[in-house]
Chains A and B, each alone.
Chain A
Amino acid sequence: MSTPARRRLMRDFKRLQEDPPTGVSGAPTDNNIMIWNAVIFGPHDTPFEDGTFKLTIEFTEEYPNKPPTVRFVSKVFHPNVYADGGICLDILQNRWSPTYDVSAILTSIQSLLSDPNPNSPANSTAAQLYKENRREYEKRVKACVEQSFID
């Protein structure tokens, strides 16, 4: 059955294919348009460079009126990523706007990798190292970049 959420997700997918933003990709899973797999490539000139980070995006019938649930499947060491892969990002919570699409979500997460917000930490170790010991932070990030090749 075609619902506004499904219709909109088809549009999102079409746009993502026709006009793909640099460094991100995503597609619905084979049998369910409400669950997507996505990949974000670590942005250049950041410790995440060369990483390929996998995510899942789960939509409800209330999309785009409500944001989807986005989670990293790959292990990501980052101040705003929870241990279970959940992401603390305002546009996925209280600043969600129905004008955001999958493309906008993925590019926002990509810029979160470059610019963490250590003041609202989901991983306090990462936040602390980011603020106080940048070398150690980068070392831990690089370890998860290498892990991302294997996953």
Chain B
Amino acid sequence: MESFTQNDGNRDELIIQQKRDIEKEISDTTPLVSDQLPLTCLYAEYSGDEVFTAKIQDLSKKYKFIRRTRPDGNCFFRAFAYSYLEYLISNSSAYQEFKKLAEESKEKLVQLGFPSFTLEDFHETFMEVIQRVSPDNLGGHSTVQEELHKIFNEQGYSDYVVVYLRLITSGKLQEEADFYQNFIEGDLTIEAFRHLEVEPMYKESDHIHIIALCTALGAGVRVEYLDRGEGGTVKAHDFPEGSEPRIYLIYRPGHYDILYPN
């Protein structure tokens, strides 16, 4: 019996090792956040595919550029943070408002029961990033924009930003558990969902993550869905519904990138 369980343990390790190898291959070949690329670069990925080609054509009427994020399960959070900070860099009053909200968010999470000691580590880094991309920093807009791009491609900083947004999302789900419970399929509790699907890194995001994060930060997001659905046009959805979008993302099954409207 014991030799059998021993094998089981080894099998887990083999699976974990294989997962690590795949992750390494992706991280060696794809930057965390790419440069701005012409939207038309999407054609190459779907050449010969009529449905997607027609939809990219439709999309290119509204958007000129795309910025890719690494497909590591954190893409929604990373794209969201990058795109929102990019907006804030050129909107001083919105930046100040967000900075205040971010400053106060730690205390709120502690009150919700998050451990203050470890939270502090992420919060400090998050605030440092916000400070480094202040619209008032020396060098003006283009220097700050470069700084943002540099920070988001530095794994340590980039991932800490993702972690902090995951914690804010998790906090929101807990705060309004009665409401968000309606979005969860099956019999998972909000508590279990937060621990299985929100707080761990590399876990992909669903509508529930998006709604909770946008609501918590008061930031509107428009997501354009490029999929095999009928109609020949790309469907957009705004979160929270009726809000004015500050962040534009493209969703292809399993992945989010950043969009730039004309």
By a CB distance below 8 angstroms, the chain B residues around A11 are 117, 121
Q: Does A108 contact B (CB under 8 A)?
A: no
By a CB distance below 8 angstroms, the chain B residues around A86 are 9, 12
User: Can you list, as one digit per residue, whether each of A67-86 has a CB less than 8 Å from chain B (1) or not (0)?
Assistant: 00000000000000011101
A25-33, A38-46, A122-130: which lies at the interface: A122-130
Could you write out 9 A-B pairs with CB less than 8 Å apart?
Answer: A3-B156, A4-B160, A82-B5, A82-B8, A83-B5, A94-B200, A99-B115, A101-B118, A125-B1
Q: Does A119 contact B (CB under 8 A)?
A: no
| Contact A97 B199, beta carbon cutoff 8 Å | yes
Of the candidates A4, A96, A97, A100, the one having the most CB atoms from chain B within 10 angstroms of its own CB is: A97
Q: Does A111 contact B (CB under 8 A)?
A: no
Q: Does B217 contact A (CB under 8 A)?
A: no
By a CB distance below 8 angstroms, the chain B residues around A125 are 1-2
Specify the main secondary structure of chain B where it touches its partner.
helix
A147 to B160, CA, bound (A): 42
Please give me the residue from chain B that is nearest to A93 by CB atom: B12
By a CB distance below 8 angstroms, the chain B residues around A104 are 115
Q: Does B168 contact A (CB under 8 A)?
A: no
Cross-chain contact of B195 among A66, A95, A124 (Cβ < 8 A): A95
Q: Give the contact-size bracket for chain A.
A: 20 to 34
By a CB distance below 8 angstroms, the chain B residues around A8 are 121
A105 to B166, CA, bound (A): 20
CB proximity of A136 to chain B, nearest CB, Å:
15
Cross-chain contact of A98 among B3, B4, B117, B122 (Cβ < 8 A): B122
Q: Which residues of A contact B (CB under 8 A)?
A: 3-4, 8, 11, 15, 64-66, 82-84, 86, 94-101, 104, 121-125
User: Assuming A8-B121, A64-B118, A66-B201, is B163 touching A98 (CB within 8 A)?
Assistant: yes
**B interface residues, how many (CB within 8 angstroms):** 28
By a CB distance below 8 angstroms, the chain A residues around B9 are 82-84, 86, 122
Q: Does B119 contact A (CB under 8 A)?
A: yes
Please give me the residue from chain A that is nearest to B203 by CB atom: A94
| Contact A96 B2, beta carbon cutoff 8 Å | no
By a CB distance below 8 angstroms, the chain B residues around A83 are 2-3, 5-6, 9
A141 to B5, CA, bound (A): 18
User: Assuming A4-B156, A8-B121, A94-B200, is B5 touching A99 (CB within 8 A)?
Assistant: no
Q: Does B177 contact A (CB under 8 A)?
A: no
User: Assuming A94-B200, A97-B200, A99-B199, is B5 touching A123 (CB within 8 A)?
Assistant: yes
Cross-chain contact of B199 among A15, A66, A98, A121 (Cβ < 8 A): A98
A4 to B4, CA, bound (A): 39
Please give me the residue from chain A that is nearest to B160 by CB atom: A4
| Contact A65 B118, beta carbon cutoff 8 Å | no
Near A by CB (< 8 A), chain B positions 139-185 give 156, 159-160, 163, 166-167
A125 to B159, CA, bound (A): 41
Cross-chain contact of B5 among A64, A94, A97, A122 (Cβ < 8 A): A122
CB proximity of B159 to chain A, nearest CB, Å:
5
Cross-chain contact of A96 among B1, B5, B119, B200 (Cβ < 8 A): B200
